[in-house]
Amino acid sequence: MARTLKDLPSALDRVDELARRLAGRRPAVFLDYDGTLTPIVERPELAVLSESMRNIVRDLAQRCPVAVVSGRDRADVERLVGIDGLVFAGSHGFDIRVPGGRRIARQEGENFAPLLETIKARLHREVDSIAGSLVEPKKASVAVHYRQVAEAERPRIAAVVEAILADHPTLRVTPGKMVYEIQPKLDWNKGHAVLWLLKALGLTAPDVLPLYFGDDVTDEDAFEALAGRGIGIYVGGAPGEAAEDRPTAAGYRLETPEETGRLLDTLAR
Ligand SMILES: [Mg+2]
C-alpha cells in the first residue's frame, strides 16, 4: 500500500539517519517557498521570509547548491528570498535561472502569453463579483485564490475554472492550497525542473544527495522525481489543510516552516 503523508516519520526525529545517508555525499538542496520557508498567509504578498530563515539559507548556500523552486513568478520569489547565488525556478519550474549571470536557463510555454491574457480578463469578468476572490496574473499562469471566499461561494469559483478548461483544452489546472492555478498543459512540472537542474548543474554523480522540501501537491512531482535517488521532505501545512491520507513519495515530514529552518540549520553546519 502506498505510503501516505501521515505515515511519514519526522525528519527531526531521524537526524542521525539523515546524517548517515549524507555521509560521504554532497547535499543539493531544493526548497519550495510558500508553506515551506514561510508560513501560509492570507494573501500571497504577505509571505515574507524571516531574517533568521534568510541567514540559515544563506549559510547553507555557502556549503552546497541551493535552489528555490516555487509556483511564484521567478522575479517575485527572487525578491522575497533576497539571497544572491541561489538557483531560482519560478512558475512551478517553467522559468529557471542559474546564478552567475542574468542568463535565463530555461523557459517553458512562453507562447501561451496571449491566451493567459484572455483567461485573466475572463476570470476578472466572472469572479470579481465573488467577495474575497483574488485573480493573480503570473508569468506562466493565472491563479485564482479563494482562501477568503465564503465556503458557500467556493463552488462558483470551481465552476468558472471548469468552464475555462472545457473551452481551452490546451490548459490545465494545478490545485494548490485554496488556489486554482491555470497553466499551459505541458509535460513540465517541479519534478522535471529538479531533474533538469541536477543535470544542468552537474549534480548527477552518485556522491550527490538531492533533498527536496515542499508542502503542496505540486511538490509531489519533485518527491516522485527524486524517489530512489534523493530525499523528499514534506512540510505540513496549516491545520485542517494537510491532506493526511494523500499518497506521497516523500520520505520524511516536518510540521512547520520553523522546523524546516531547524533541519536546514543542521545541514548548514
Ligand atoms: Mg508551497
Task: Please list, in sequence order, all residues whose beta carbon lies within 8 angstroms of the beta carbon of residue 47, skipping any fewer than 6 positions away.
Answer: 33, 34, 38, 39, 40, 41, 80
Same domain assignment for residues 97 and 197:
yes
Same domain assignment for residues 21 and 100:
yes
CA of 66 to the centre of ligand 1 (A): 16
Beta-ladder partners of 4: 247
Backbone angles phi, psi at 151, to 5 degrees: -50, -45
pLDDT in tens, 237-257: 544 555 788 899 999 999 999
Same domain assignment for residues 198 and 168:
no
Q: By the 8 A CB rule, do 157 and 178 touch?
A: no
Same domain assignment for residues 76 and 199:
yes
Same domain assignment for residues 192 and 261:
yes
Same domain assignment for residues 94 and 224:
yes
Same domain assignment for residues 202 and 213:
yes
Q: What is the pLDDT of residue 6?
A: 87
Same domain assignment for residues 71 and 129:
no
Backbone angles phi, psi at 66, to 5 degrees: -130, 130
32 is catalytic: yes
Q: What is the pLDDT of residue 239?
A: 47
Domain end call among 128, 155, 184: 184
Q: 46: domain CATH number?
A: 3.40.50.1000
Report how far residue 80's alpha carbon sits from residue 76's, in angstroms, rounded to the nearest whole number. 6
Q: What is the pLDDT of residue 101?
A: 57
CA of 76 to the centre of ligand 1 (A): 14
3-state SS string over the chain?
CCCEHHHCCECCCCHHHHHHHHCCCEEEEEECCECCCECCCCCHHHCCCCHHHHHHHHHHHHHCCEEEECCCCHHHHHHHHCCCCCEEEEHHHCEEECCCCCCEEEECCHHHHHHHHHHHHHHHHHHCCCCCCEEEECCCCEEEECCCCCHHHHHHHHHHHHHHHHHCCCEEEEEECCEEEEEECCCCCHHHHHHHHHHHCCCCCCCEEEEEEECCHHHHHHHHHHCCCCEEEEECCCCCCCCCCCECCCCEEECCHHHHHHHHHHHCC
Q: What is the pLDDT of residue 177?
A: 85
Backbone angles phi, psi at 183, to 5 degrees: -140, 165
Q: 137: domain CATH number?
A: 3.30.70.1020
CA of 24 to the centre of ligand 1 (A): 30
Q: What is the mean pLDDT of each run of 10 residues along the chain (269 residues)?
A: 86 96 96 95 89 97 96 94 94 87 66 94 98 93 95 97 97 90 91 93 95 94 96 77 80 95 93
Domain range for 38 is 5-108+188-267
**Which position among 13, 32, 34, 95 bears the catalytic label?**
32
Same domain assignment for residues 118 and 176:
yes
Same domain assignment for residues 84 and 206:
yes
pLDDT in tens, 107-140: 777 789 999 999 999 999 999 999 999 999 998 8
Domain end call among 139, 156, 184: 184
Between helix 257-267 and helix 15-22 the angle, nearest 10°, is 40
Total count of domains within the chain? 2
CA of 217 to the centre of ligand 1 (A): 8
Domain end call among 152, 184, 216: 184
Please report, as a single letter, which amino acid is at residue 209. Answer: L
Q: By the 8 A CB rule, do 18 and 251 touch?
A: no
Q: By the 8 A CB rule, do 212 and 222 touch?
A: yes
CA of 214 to the centre of ligand 1 (A): 6
State the pTM of this model. 0.88
Same domain assignment for residues 128 and 177:
yes
Task: Tell the residue number behind the cell numbers 494573501, with chain if given.
Answer: 43
Q: Identify which of 107, 76, 248 has the alpha carbon closest to the alpha carbon of residue 235.
A: 248
Residue 163, CA distances (Å) to 17, 94, 152 in order: 48, 24, 19
Task: Tell the residue number behind the cell numbers 535565463, with chain if given.
Answer: 104
CA of 200 to the centre of ligand 1 (A): 24
Same domain assignment for residues 122 and 45:
no
Report how far residue 19's alpha carbon sits from residue 213's, in angstroms, rounded to the nearest whole number. 16
